[in-house]
Each structure stands twice: as structure tokens, then as C-alpha cells.
């Protein structure tokens, strides 16, 4: 198939370190599909860079689809730009609740939002027989919101010294895959 005849899709994510692992997931998935020209656009996982990437994609005018942004901050900043242009978006990992409310009719979120994930997490904690929940975050925007949601559960507490050795306590560390690890 001639290069000019290929459909063009922008793949937006964090491609340099420290978010490169997320970008690598997007690149790997795109590489498995023929018949589409996949153009990688870096948003560094940041809201301002996400909006700038969206503006550049729309200004280019040759894209029929956007896959990304990898996180909610970039997606929230970019969605109004795509909405105004009528450009469809697939959000692989943007999990903020109500991110798509009244936003973009041609958007699809690939994974459950934070509220659905919290419900499943709470169910898993109960099935495992844990009586308490302790948690912390890496301090990033990505980790703080889910940590606050878990800590709002009945009986939850910030991580206490020794909690990781307590079989009755489910311990969570939320954050970016790089910093929380």
C-alpha cells in the first residue's frame, strides 16, 4: 500500500523518560497493525504538552484518529481541541471520573475510570479478607487522586510503620509506574 494511501493516526503519549514505558506500550501496540501510518506525538504526560500536541495534530489536518493521551491530565487538556475539530479519540489509560461527560461524542475510554477501579479494588480487598486498608502515593498528580480515594474508604489509614507486615492490612502505593516502584 502506498504511504500516501494509508490512514493516518496520531499516537500521543509520554515517549521520553521517565514516562517512556507508557509510550513504549503505545508504540508497540501501533506497530502490530498494518494499513495505518502511526505518527508518534510526545505529550510528556503533562497537561500543557498534551494540549500543545492536540493543537499541532488538529492544525496538521491529515489525521483521522488519535490514540492517547496516556493519562488524564493530558487528555483533559486535549479533549476540547479534538472536540472542536470533530476528531475521534481513543483514550487507553485516562481514568479520571467524568472525563468524557459532555465532552466528545466520538471518544472512547479503553479502561474503567477511577471510580470503577476503586469499586473493584474494594471488592478484592473484601474477598481477600483484609480488615484494614493503608495507602500512600508518590506525591504525583497521577498517584494522589487514587490514594485519596482509597484512604476515604471506611477503616482506611495512611501507611503506618509496620503495616506492610500486617496480613490484615491491604497496603497500596499509588503513583507513576516509575516513581511508585
Q: What is the pLDDT of residues 21-62, one digit of tens each?
A: 666 776 777 777 778 888 889 888 788 999 999 999 999 999
Verify cis geometry, omega within 30 degrees of 0, for the bond prior to 2.
Answer: no
The set of cell numbers assigned to 159 is: 501507611
pLDDT of 5: 66
Give the Cα separation of 59 and 53 in Å (integer): 10
Distance of CA 75 to the CA centre of its chain: 8
109-129 pLDDT, tens per residue? 888 888 888 888 888 888 988
Which of the residue ranges 51-55, 76-80, 82-86, 156-160 would you say has the lowest mean pLDDT? 156-160
Whether the predicted pLDDT of 2 surpasses 60:
no
Find cell 507513576 and name the residue: 176
Cβ neighbours of residue 178 closer than 8 Å, sequence gap 6 or more: 18, 19, 21
79 neighbors 101 (Cβ within 8 angstroms): no
Give the Cα separation of 136 and 157 in Å (integer): 9
Cβ neighbours of residue 109 closer than 8 Å, sequence gap 6 or more: 91, 94, 95, 99, 100
Burial code (b: 16+ CB inside 10 Å, e: under 16) for 109-139 equals: beeebbeeebeebbeebeeeebebbbbbbbe
pLDDT of 45: 78
pLDDT of 103: 54
Give the Cα separation of 53 and 43 in Å (integer): 6
Give the Cα separation of 44 and 47 in Å (integer): 9
Which pTM does this prediction carry? 0.73
Amino acid at each position: 500500500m502506498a504511504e500516501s494511501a494509508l490512514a493516518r493516526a496520531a499516537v500521543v503519549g509520554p515517549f521520553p523518560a521517565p514516562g517512556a514505558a507508557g509510550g513504549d506500550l503505545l508504540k508497540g501496540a501501533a506497530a502490530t497493525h498494518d494499513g495505518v501510518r502511526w505518527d508518534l506525538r510526545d505529550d510528556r504526560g503533562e497537561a500543557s504538552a498534551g494540549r500543545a500536541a492536540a493543537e499541532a495534530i488538529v492544525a496538521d489536518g491529515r489525521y483521522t484518529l488519535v490514540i492517547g493521551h496516556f493519562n488524564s491530565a493530558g487528555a483533559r487538556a486535549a479533549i476540547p481541541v479534538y472536540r472542536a475539530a470533530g476528531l475521534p479519540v481513543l483514550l487507553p489509560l485516562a481514568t479520571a471520573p467524568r472525563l468524557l461527560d459532555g465532552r466528545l461524542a466520538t471518544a472512547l475510554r479503553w479502561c474503567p475510570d477511577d471510580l470503577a477501579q476503586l469499586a473493584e479494588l474494594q471488592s478484592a480487598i473484601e474477598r481477600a479478607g483484609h480488615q484494614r486498608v493503608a495507602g500512600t502515593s508518590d506525591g504525583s498528580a497521577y498517584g494522589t487522586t487514587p490514594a485519596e480515594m482509597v484512604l476515604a474508604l471506611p477503616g482506611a489509614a495512611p501507611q503506618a510503620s509496620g503495616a506492610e507486615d500486617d496480613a490484615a492490612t491491604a497496603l497500596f502505593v499509588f503513583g507513576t509506574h516509575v516513581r511508585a516502584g
